[in-house]
Structure 1
């Protein structure tokens, strides 16, 4: 569970203060998929980084699994899986298996449990043919599957994905979608940003962020009913005041 109340965050840019998040209040529930939607620069990645504990908030409160995020406890960090768009966090000299082993041991997984987790991820993302190859010369899509896998290897309760299907082909994208639906069935808390409305349509809830403010937070079904329309792309574009 993720609860943010009146969260504010600013950065200094060229000696001027830029307010990225303005009184953000959200509630992300376990057992549901929640999409974070908005233009580039809306504040999506900043919000995800704050939830992950990578940025402090200037004002407001943030609770992760009922604990104040400001405590930044080790147990809290272990309970979050994070993937940021464009940043796979991979090491060229390591193989796929070595990456998963490294991150699994980093999170304190028992060797037998880790072995089972790696075997499951290998199967789910069809990586068997290159598990023992170094990632240096992998395609973008192959690297993205490894990055997603290392995010999931420790089986946390909370997942934060920033543009998770970037670089994936249609098969890889479908693998990811099946996996997040499985996370939902396991009562995990899943928050991901995406520009792909087909992915967003899988979600139960949606948060539309525009210029650092929340323009909508609620269920997709309610959004459709309020707008008397099932065209999600059109609804989102209208809510952030863009021309179709």
Structure 2
């Protein structure tokens, strides 16, 4: 991916806090979920709970709740706390979460801002997940967020993140693009002929993206144990770890 000049202000709100943003998200939902459903299934399977175990998990940058719905399907007694900063995405999420009434709560939370978490997220919480959100944060905020996750987790609680990453060098990038273009023969043409809106969304998508090893290092520096890359396919990964059971 090419280097992109850092903007002077965050553009997440311009993408996600608009009705147009939600409309675009909905228009691409079927293809997106077809490709990502299995990845979220694995994220749920990595959580250390039994099917008859009650627990509460936080979903950071939850959007319309796709990851939370997968976890709730796997664990009938689980409760989800979905944290997001977009009223539009949360409103759409409440429609899509209608079958899970009583099993979820939405909490407003701007992940770009460091500090205390909203009171609506339990302290401690049994697990924390995130799906396609952390890559929107700059490096400093990724680091502080991971430290906050550690503090919010119950001893032994897990954090798992499903996200895209930046290639570590040009050789890897070329291989990723080659494989992607063979899977989708129209991909190269789409890259070359983005509309202004598509380019804006792409720039917003990649501007804070960093290589995988860097983020795994941030997790270890935060103090999580069992840190690993639990799944990877080209630029998409699931990585995570757990808070130690011993006192911090």
Whether these two folds match at TM > 0.5 is no
Higher strand share: 1
- TM-score (structure 1 length as normaliser): 0.31
- TM-score (structure 2 length as normaliser): 0.30
- Higher RCO by CA contacts (8 Å cutoff, separation 6 or greater): 1
